[in-house]
Structure 1
Amino acid sequence: MIEECLVVEFRVMGDDCPLARATREVEAPLDCRPPQARRDGNALLRFSVRGEYEALVERLDGDGDIRYLHVSNTDGIANVRCLSKRPCVIHRLVDAGFMVESVQYRDGVETYVGAVVGHDVLRGVLEAAGETVGVTLERVSPLGTTDDAPVARRWDLTLAQEAALETALEMGYFEIPRDATASDVSAELGIGKSAFLERLRRGQTALFSQLFGGNRS
């Protein structure tokens, strides 16, 4: 049995997959589930877009490599499912042994976080990366049994709660004194103040419950 597992992060530039092309043209960061490759070479995609998403959806709907596009909207977050006839670079890394955990697209740049089991597998994944476009190894670290990296642990938050917490942190809502008010953050999120405070409360409760072993929701 191989006891060593490594957390690995890759950065990819120059991919010609539909999501990379779309985010190069439309400013709409995407948080993706690991894509599922089909035997026919197509890929099943599922991802979320926060805030304005209409331009991105329109861009994908006009892409000849995208089929069966479906969009659902919950609390200002678009959940998109579709079939891509052009798989992305990540499938080559997965074939070499990379266990993908999260995929993000920002301005045409992809970030993959996942794990590999042992250095031999890592070498094979790096060889596969070297044969593709613009793949850079950003980080490698051992994965411990109590590691809180994405591969080892996921916080049980909704996308809306995550967006509320992340935006509040970025705008300085938690600073002392505060750099932004609840009204400022809610305006940035495009929701009402009471909705923001409710998401913040529920998100904090979920985080603290997991950190300190509570079971309140």
Structure 2
Amino acid sequence: MGLVAEFRIHCDGLPLVTVAGAVPAVTLVLELQFNHGNRPLFLATVTGESQTAIENALADAVDVGEWTLIGQAGDTRRYQVFPALSFEEQLGDHIDDLAGLEALATAEATIERIEVEPDGWRQTGWFATREAFNTFASFWQRNATFRLHRLTRDGEPEPPGNGLTDRQHEALRTAYELGYFEIPRQASLNDIAAELDISASSVSERLRRAQTHLIQETVATTWPPLPN
């Protein structure tokens, strides 16, 4: 039985990290398209922010060549992104062992989700054996910063809300307990903020990020949008 791991790789040389840094309020999820020559294209699903802000960030990113908007549903947009840099140009200044990184592509593993953050990638992956996972983890521990968040055997049930941060869990739970999601609403963002001892804007951001994650893991899996 394989292993499922959720982890974070801190490396600001990874593709589209500068885009995530330019629009930090968005949720940016990547899929790699390996059937387009030597350099895989990216399929980027971006939720939040205006289209102008997102596309300005894409235009300013040195590792992005061209992009095409291929779908939109509400404030979620999907882009096909063409890389501007070679493998060596993208990561050569950040990772010494590029050959070792290329070798990871042949490991018995599948990266199922890549969420781009301002300082690296948060990933969920399947690994055939503990040895395959250890090889992957030890490479990133040597060449960047690797932080494991969860490691389970394939097939084990995941806890509700898997993938949310502790702060997002806390914000959602507090909002629910205070009646923020009731109709009519029984609590305001200020009420939740007072309970958590943070600002109302921080509460709003945590709730929006948590809700975005839950939507992506449930409703957004029906992409493309169903016809009206």
1:81 aligned residue:
80
TM-score, normalised via structure 2 length: 0.58
Cα shift at 1:21 = 1.5
One of 100, 122, 133 as aligned partner of 2:144: 133
User: Whole-Å Cα distance in 1 between the matches of residues 39 and 136 of structure 2?
Assistant: 21
User: Whole-Å Cα distance in 2 between the matches of residues 91 and 174 of structure 1?
Assistant: 46
> 1:70-125 deviations in whole A, cap 9, x for unaligned?
12432121112112244578876444333111111233332100110112222222
Identity %: 16
> 1:137-172 deviations in whole A, cap 9, x for unaligned?
33221122x6358xxxxxxxxxxxxxxxx9xx8386
> 1:29-68 deviations in whole A, cap 9, x for unaligned?
3342431346754221112222214223212123342123
What secondary structure, in the 3-state scheme, does the structure 2 residue paired with 1:34 have? strand
Amino acid in structure 1 at the alignment position of 2:113: S
Seen in structure 2, the aligned counterparts of structure 1 residues 181 and 58 have a Cα distance that, compared at 3 Å, is farther
Gaps of 5+ in 2: 92-100, 160-167, 190-203, 206-214, 220-228
CA contact under 8 A between 2:27 and 2:48: conserved in structure 1?
A: no
Task: Kindly indicate whether residue 126 of structure 2 is the aligned counterpart of residue 115 of structure 1.
Answer: yes
TM-score, normalised via structure 1 length: 0.60
One of 33, 37, 43 as aligned partner of 1:36: 33
The alignment yields a C-alpha RMSD, in angstroms, of: 3.8
Cα shift at 1:18 = 3.7
Task: Kindly indicate whether residue 9 of structure 2 is the aligned counterpart of residue 12 of structure 1.
Answer: yes
2:157 aligned residue:
147
1:179 aligned residue:
180
Task: Kindly indicate whether residue 47 of structure 2 is the aligned counterpart of residue 50 of structure 1.
Answer: yes
CA contact under 8 A between 1:30 and 1:47: conserved in structure 2?
A: no
One of 3, 7, 21 as aligned partner of 1:24: 21
Gaps of 5+ in 1: 150-165, 190-202, 208-217
